[in-house]
């Protein structure tokens, strides 16, 4: 059972364009939603994260939009640059009773290519 569904699998965007990656989840107990960025030959690194008490979070050119009722969240990369070419993973976890949970469920990833 895939608990976090990510789309598209791959995405090609022109420099300066907007890249949009979508994720949907099933477990309503999820309440922490990070995005990780992975360059070839490297491990993933945290890019940006959101909790469901806000509908949007922006850090520089990266924005997470969150729709709790639809159980969906998305990553928007504004003014996409060739250096943004990487694989992006959405993830989710639940802060269970006691306020601590540490197991992330990852989406399958999106390979983003930004053409110059």
Partner 1 sequence: NAGVTQTPKFRILKIGQSMTLQCAQDMNHNYMYWYRQDPGMGLKLIYYSVGAGITDKGEVPNGYNVSRSTTEDFPLRLELAAPSQTSVYFCASSYAQGRRGSNQPQHFGDGTRLSIL
Strands of the sheet containing 56-59, edge to edge, are 4-7, 19-25, 72-77, 62-67, 56-59
Ramachandran sector of residue 28 (left: φ over 0; alpha: ψ -120 to 50; beta: rest): alpha
Which of 1/14 has CB closer to partner 1? 1
Site for partner 1, residues 55 to 84, rule: CB under 8 A: none
Of 13, 30, 93, 112, the one binding partner 1 by CB under 8 A = 93
Which of 11/104 has CB closer to partner 1? 104
Which of 17/27 has CB closer to partner 1? 27
Which residues lie closer than 8 Å to 73 by C-beta, 6 or more apart?
22, 23, 25, 33, 50, 64, 65, 66, 67, 90
Of 16, 28, 51, 82, the one binding partner 1 by CB under 8 A = 51
Site for partner 1, residues 16 to 45, rule: CB under 8 A: 31-32, 34, 41-45
User: Residue 70: is the preceding peptide bond cis (ω within 30°)?
Assistant: no
Residues that bind partner 1 (CB under 8 A): 6, 9, 31-32, 34, 41-46, 49, 51, 89, 93, 95, 99-104, 106-109
């Amino acid at each position: 059972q895939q608990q976090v569904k990510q789309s598209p699998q791959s995405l090609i965007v022109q420099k300066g364009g907007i890249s949009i990656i979508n994720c949907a989840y099933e477990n309503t107990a999820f309440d922490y939603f990070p995005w990780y960025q992975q360059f070839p030959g490297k491990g993933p690194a945290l890019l940006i994260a959101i909790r469901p008490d806000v509908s949007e979070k922006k850090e520089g050119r990266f924005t997470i939009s969150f729709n709790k009722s639809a159980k969906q969240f998305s990553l928007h990369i504004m003014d996409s640059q060739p250096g943004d070419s990487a694989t992006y993973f959405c993830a989710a976890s639940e802060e269970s009773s006691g306020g601590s949970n540490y197991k992330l469920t990852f989406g399958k990833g999106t390979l983003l290519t930004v053409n110059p």
